[in-house]
Structure 1
């Protein structure tokens, strides 16, 4: 009876903690914020007149640009829809969480500023895109396993990186070691 109670408590804690896989630990983290940061939506309209005298907008500058290089999961359209309808408070954290959900909680996700020159090596890449959001370039990866080094000699911006997935619990220092848990029987 005590064993059953312990297993039930463990499964309940996993469900409450957000682990989609029950007893396999799921980790999420992001770089710390150093001061407040606000994001504005830069919109510019150019107006022109046509012969009828009606004035209409010609173009609107987008606040983002997504360039997908690899999409083995078929999530490009979902990413595009997310960017069209969302104003982010923390782009790396929110993109990481949403991308993880789009990948059906099955793969590791890493989002980081591309201009910061973080060292990384990912294997089994299922999705890769470059994102320019409000003038900052980001790399978005969905992958099976790999490493990411959070140390950077250059000064990084707040929320320069975020991840969601499975990491080795014995990580020390600035290296994050990702793995993909074995599922099934």
Structure 2
């Protein structure tokens, strides 16, 4: 059964899986071993964007369910470079936040958060979501227009960083549009 595919929205996501080792001995190993790696994840809001993508689906023997991942802001390479360049966790979290903020044109809010911690997010107008791994710890990276975020875990720089337009009440952040 062939299913017609249409564009269902402009909200596309990209997930980054970026291996990083903080030890000095690992840092001296080949750059190739610690090079960032980008791995796309399926998103149900994605659609057919090109003839090539359709051909890839047919080559894989799949009739329906095409998933296309697009980095709408073009920031995944910059985040990958930020991951590769930092040797301490606090600096790494801050650097990913700053890199993401400037790579998104300084016109969106940014949240970087340790996904091992409890949290609740209510973001609107999400432009990008990705994840990056530092020494086995996965961080979520959001670029969005407005919303709120509740950190229900530790609030230190090693666990979260955010930038944009916001009001903060301890672990609760209300983000606004610029």
Tell me which interval the TM-score lies in, with the shorter structure as reference length: 0.5 to 0.7
Match of 2:161 in 1: 162
Offset, 1:74: 1.7
Per-residue deviation at 1:104? 1.2
TM-score (norm 2): 0.59
Where in structure 1 are there 5+ consecutive unaligned residues? 1-38, 46-56
Alignment of 1:9-48 (within 5 A): 39-41=22-24, 42=26
Q: What is the CA–CA distance in structure 2 between the aligned matches of 1:173 and 1:87, rounded to whole Å?
A: 28
Alignment of 1:144-183 (within 5 A): 144-152=145-153, 159-168=158-167, 171-181=168-178
CA distance in 1, matches of 2:143, 2:151: 18
- Sort the Cα spacing of 1:65 and 1:121 in 2 relative to 1 into closer, same or farther, 3 A: farther
**How many Å apart are 1:106 and its aligned residue?**
0.6
**CA contact under 8 A between 1:43 and 1:61: conserved in structure 2?**
no
Q: In structure 2, what is the Cα distance between the partners aligned to 1:109 and 1:40?
A: 28
Instruction: Please name the residue that 1:115 is paired with.
Output: 116
Tell me, in whole angstroms, the C-alpha distance in 2 between the residues paired with 1:116 and 1:67.
23
User: Take 2:116 and 2:152, find their aligned partners in 1: how far apart are those partners?
Assistant: 14
Residue 88 of structure 1: how far off its partner (Å): 3.9
Structure 1 residue 150, shift from structure 2 partner: 2.4
Take 2:39 and 2:74, find their aligned partners in 1: how far apart are those partners?
A: 14
In structure 2, do the counterparts of structure 1 residues 133 and 63 end up closer, same or farther at CA, with 3 Å as the change threshold?
farther
Secondary structure at the residue paired with 2:86? coil
Report if the CA contact (8 A) 1:112-1:160 is conserved.
Answer: yes
C-alpha displacement of 1:111: 0.3
Match of 1:53 in 2: none
- Which residue of 2 is the match for residue 134 of structure 1? 135
Distance 1:83 1:99 in 2: 11
RMSD: 2.8
**Pair 1:82-2:82 in alignment:** yes
Larger fraction in strand: 1
Q: Is contact 1:66-1:131 (8 Å) kept?
A: no
Higher-Rg structure is 1
Tell me if the contact between 1:116 and 1:156 (Cα under 8 Å) persists in the aligned partners. no
Per the alignment, do residues 83 and 159 of structure 1 end up closer, same or farther by CA in structure 2, a change over 3 Å counting? closer
Gaps of 5+ in 2: 1-21, 42-69
1:174 Cα deviation after fit: 2.4
